[in-house]
Structure 1
Amino acid sequence: MKIHRLGIWALLALAASLLVVSSSWAAAAPRKIVLVVPHRVFFTVALPVYVAQEKGFYKEGGLEVDAVFTKGGGENVQAVVSGDAQIGLGTGFFAVLSAFEKGAPVKIAAGEITGMDAFWYVLGNSSIRRLEDLAGKKIAFSRAGSSSHMAVLAIVDQVKAKGLQPPEPVSLGGLPDTFTGVRTGQADVGWSVPPFMLDRVEKGELRVLVRGPEIEALNAITMRVHFVNADFAAKQPEAVRAFFRAHQKAVEFMMDRPQESAKIWIRKAELKFPESAVLKTWEFYRKPQLALKPIRGIQTNIDEAVKFKFLKEPLGKAQIDRLIDLSFLP
């Protein structure tokens, strides 16, 4: 009987130890996040993901992050709203505002960039050499309501403020179509985002005319945001916090160590540009631009979203407070 009792206690002890081991394993199991990224190359969204993967920042936070590259905008929003993804990076403020107004479970959790990171260029032999030379010229943007459109309208206002004939905005679509449009005379000035076209700048084929920080009206406006599925954030707030801790570490790493980060970028994104041209990307960014908080120019974004029919009417304070939640940030 004594042996039988000892056997029972031994079994109970074994079961308890297995339960402890099982619980410990479950606690240590990485939390999975599906992340939608609007481009596999862009500096402000793709590179932080590559750096966080390469340097183990996600793993340090107990995360398993599956990055899915998309075309951005509505595709990002749809993936997060449906629950197929939990976090969307670098998405236009307007697209997230529109989804929120329609009742989608989204929260803006961080800013991606404040101010404009695109640049405007001319052909190397162009007579256009300064902002004032844009008077009466055709200047390209991608499509109506885009951040490049907002930037061009701001450039138009800057030229008008000098008492000059305003430039004519021209929608030419994406980067390849814009380059073709400039070469064929559809526009005098094209737009791009680093590192694209910087190899041609390096060769003298193109010349940078206007950099983002020179567009004064946009320097205090958060142009794109990172957002989360609100239901996921409510259920797993620590996972969201861990993600943004890792993301911030990655941004700080790449801004502080451009040489090492450029090598990661070239390898992971399979960039075909020379390293010297890739490194020129860092000349277009300042660390404060990439701060996750605060979100700046909220009312301006809302007003512009109404103007371009992304919103039916302006959001009230209570709605803004529900939409923007920076509590997940370090």
Structure 2
Amino acid sequence: MSVSRFLGVLFGAIALATTPHLAQAEDTLRLAVGAPNNWDTSIPEIGQRAGIFAKHGLKLDILYTQGGGETMQAVISGSVDIGIAAGTQAVMGAFAKGAPVRILAAGTTGAGDLYWYVPADSPIKSFKDTNGKTAGFSTVGASTHIALLALIKHFGTTTKAVATGAGAVTLTQVMSGQIDVGWASPPFGLQQLQDGKIRLIARGNDAPSMVNQTVRVHIVNANALKQRADVMKRFMAAYRESYEFLYTDPRGVRVFSEYSKVPEALAVQIRDTFMPKAVMSPEKVSGTDAIMADAVTFKTLAAPLSQQQLSELIQIPPKP
């Protein structure tokens, strides 16, 4: 071998050895994500499209679900490693019963992105008019379920909560008269609102108890967390970087627009009106005492978790 060729091979080997993750195959993580195309669940998809997860040596295999309840069950069963946007109360309840689930990151604090609507010609003018009526939520244990129960409690109505599945399926049920009130989260339904086909009658934060609670969390199978601790730390590093990219880089809105198939102007409206940056911070599960009190009221928890239990449940890796 010539000297020049030898040096080329040597320097190439050194470059590979000193470049993180490029010298090895990407680690694959299976994700269950509730409500496709929504802003609050988009960060893994946005980060993957932007090449951020690949930079951290990760490939995401994303499965979309009908809502937080299905997402949590997929994580508990071990069919996926991580679940995006599961209802916090339901996660606490499952953990208290011994389910192998841990909180890897905070998802959404407050429920201002969730809203309930009726057809434009409905006699229902406000949530107070829903006595004896049916109102939809996605799946049992999802944040839509908890927020709806909180609205019913706050307004003191006899509304019947009905699991209706994802936003598109719910809209069909509302417009065909199968249920009286539907639920949605941006971008879904905004065009129908603008066109005057439906009317908004309540948002999740109309129930004051929801405003400061982290209503959705990102969860991980406990066994996967134990066995693949380094991979989960890299996931969180990539997630944090993707979160910053979505909010601080102009390309973030553009990538979301392409992913969700909504105009960029509407994506900006969703961000600024429904999902400001602080709401999506992954760093802290806020309002745990209030979350547990509501969970006991709604019979999701038999009793509040102890501080020791909370420390075991919440496993957010610290920022470097």
Using the size of structure 1 for normalisation, the TM-score is 0.76
Cα distance in 1 between the residues matched to 2:144 and 2:195: 25
SS of equivalent to 1:252: helix
Q: Does residue 240 of structure 1 match 2:232? A: yes
Counterpart of 1:13 in structure 2 is none
- 1:33 Cα deviation from its structure 2 partner: 2.4
Cα distance in 2 between the residues matched to 1:172 and 1:78: 16
- Is the 2:106–2:281 Cα contact (8 Å) retained in structure 1? yes
- 1:214 Cα deviation from its structure 2 partner: 3.2
- 1:126 Cα deviation from its structure 2 partner: 4.6
Counterpart mapping for 1:51-62 below 5 A: 51-62=46-57
Bigger drift between 31-40 and 175-184 goes to: 175-184
Q: How many residues align?
A: 305
Q: Does residue 171 of structure 1 match 2:162? A: yes
Letter paired with 1:222: T
Cα distance in 1 between the residues matched to 2:124 and 2:191: 20
Larger Rg: 1
Q: Does residue 250 of structure 1 match 2:245? A: no
Bigger drift between 81-90 and 20-29 goes to: 20-29
Cα distance in 1 between the residues matched to 2:49 and 2:211: 32
- Give the unaligned 5+ runs of structure 2: 1-9
Counterpart of 2:39 in structure 1 is 43
- Is the 1:81–1:104 Cα contact (8 Å) retained in structure 2? yes
2:255 to 236, 239, 264: 264
Bigger drift between 317-326 and 306-315 goes to: 306-315
- 1:322 Cα deviation from its structure 2 partner: 0.9
Q: Does residue 293 of structure 1 match 2:288? A: no
2:199 to 189, 207, 210: 207
Cα distance in 2 between the residues matched to 1:253 and 1:69: 22
2:216 to 217, 220, 224: 224
- 1:138 Cα deviation from its structure 2 partner: 3.0
- Is the 1:135–1:159 Cα contact (8 Å) retained in structure 2? no
SS of equivalent to 1:154: helix
Per-residue CA distance 1:19-58 (angstroms, 9 max, x = gap): 989966896423332222224322211x212221122211
1:87 to 68, 82, 85: 82
Counterpart of 1:10 in structure 2 is none
- Is the 2:105–2:283 Cα contact (8 Å) retained in structure 1? yes
Counterpart of 1:317 in structure 2 is 307
Cα distance in 2 between the residues matched to 1:90 and 1:238: 22
Letter paired with 2:30: V
| Percent pairwise identity | 31
1:123 to 119, 125, 137: 119
Change (3 A) 1:248 1:180: same
- Give the unaligned 5+ runs of structure 1: 1-15, 161-165
- 1:200 Cα deviation from its structure 2 partner: 0.8
